[in-house]
Amino acid sequence: MLTKQTHALGSLRCLDRSHPYRIDYPLFLLRRQTVFSFHVQKSKKVLIACPVISRNYLHPHVLIGIVSRPWRRAELLPVRYFHTVFTLPHDLNGLIDANRKLLLGELFSAVNWVLQRFAADPRWRLEGQIGFIAILHTWTQRLQEHFHLHCIIPGGVWQEKRKRWIPCRGKWLFRKNSLADAFRNRFLKRLETLRRDGSLSLTGAAAVLATEMQWNSFIAGLRAQRWIVYPKPAPDGAGQVLEYFGRYTHKVAISDHRIIELGNGHVTYTWRDRADGNKLKTDRLPVEEFIRRFLYHILPNGFQKIRHYGWLSANSKKTALPAIRIALKAQPPSPPPEESFAERILRLTGKDISSCPFCGKGRLVRTQSSILPARAPP
C-alpha cells in the first residue's frame, strides 16, 4: 500500500462521472508505462492503485517484450530462421548453484564457440560468420532447475570479405548429434580448465566433488551422457517470426494464467508434462515452496540473459545488417502500424488497460502528477 514514504504519484481520472474517485499510481509506473492489476482502497475519494499478483497481472518483463517488438522488426532478414535449444544435464545443477554467474556465462560462451566453428567449417558448406540471439531460461514447467539456451538463428552465414550471404542447404543448419557432441566436449573442457585454475567454488551440493577421484568420476559420467540439443525451424514470414521470438525473449518462470488458485497457504498451478504426451496437469505447493522455486530463477545482479553474437552483436550489426540486405537485394522491413501503447497491449494480450478498474465502464485519462513528502528519518 502506498504511504507518505512514496515520493511521487501520478493521477488517472475516469471519464465516467458516475463515481467521484480518482486513481493514484506510483509515478514511475506511469513513466515506464508499466501496467498492474488493481488493489483499490477507497479513502477520501481517492483510489490507491497498488501492484498485486493476480490472474490479470501483466509482468513487467512481458510488457518490455511487447514494447520492444517494433524495433526488433528492423533486425529481421527475408531468410529462413531456426530455433535451437542447448540444454545442460541436470547432474550439473549442484555445481551451477555454487558457481551461478561463472557457469551460466560459460554456457553462453560454449554455445557461441560451437556455432561459430560449425559455421566456419567447410564440412557444412557455409564458411562464414553466423549471427544469432541467445536467451537463457533456467526453469521447467514446475519451476525446477533446468538450465538451457534458446538460440534464434538466421539460416545462413555472412562472408564479410566477399560481401556475400551464404544460405543454408536443406532443412537444417547443422546436424543435431554433431552439435550435441561438440557442445558437451566444449563445456566439459572449460570445466576442467576452470578447476585447474582454481576458479570453481566447490560448496553446498558441489562439495562432494572436492577430491580428484570424485571429480574424475563426475566428469566421466557427464561425458558418457548424450547431451540434448534440439533444433527446429521457426515459422515463415517476418510477422510470425517476430511474434514467435517474443514468446522467448522476455518470458518469466511462470505465466499468470497458469496460477489457478491461491488459498489456505497453497498455490495451485497448471503445467504440461512433456513425458506424458504434453498433457495439462495441476500441481499444488505450499506458498513458501512456490516462492522459493520462483525466486530461484532470479539471475545474479547484472547478468545479461539475452545476448547477441556474430554479425548480430552490437559491434557488428550496424554495418553488417545493411550490407547483408544489399547482398540479399532486400529492403528493410516496413515499420509497424502506428498505435498507442494501450492499443498494442489490447491487440496482443486482450487486456484493456485504459478501462476504469472501479466501474468497468469509464475510460481513464491522466490528469496530474504530485510530489508527496518523504517521511522524516527517525
Query: What is the residue-averaged pLDDT of the chain?
Result: 79
pLDDT more than 90, % of the chain: 53
Q: Please check whether residue 371 is in contact with residue 8, taking contact to mean a CB–CB distance below 8 angstroms.
A: yes
pLDDT at 274 over 70: yes
pLDDT at 375 over 90: no
pTM to 2 decimals? 0.76
Q: The C-alpha cell of 362 is what?
A: 469509464
pLDDT at 144 over 90: yes
pLDDT of residue 9: 40
pLDDT of residue 346: 77
pLDDT at 305 over 60: yes
Q: The C-alpha cell of 359 is what?
A: 466501474
Cα atoms found within 13 Å of the Cα of residue 18, Cβ hemisphere only: 8
pLDDT of residue 211: 95
Does residue 176 or residue 369 have the better pLDDT? Answer: 176
Greatest alpha-carbon pair distance for the chain in Å reads 76
Distance in angstroms (rounded) separating the CA atoms of residues 193 and 270: 41
pLDDT of residue 199: 96
Q: Would you say the C-alpha torsion 280, 285, 291, 297 has a positive or negative sign?
A: negative
Q: Which amino acid is at 216?
A: N
Distance in angstroms (rounded) separating the CA atoms of residues 114 and 155: 16
Res. 358 pLDDT band, cuts 50 70 90? low
Partnered with residue 231 across adjacent β-strands are 84
Distance in angstroms (rounded) separating the CA atoms of residues 170 and 233: 11
pLDDT of residue 254: 86
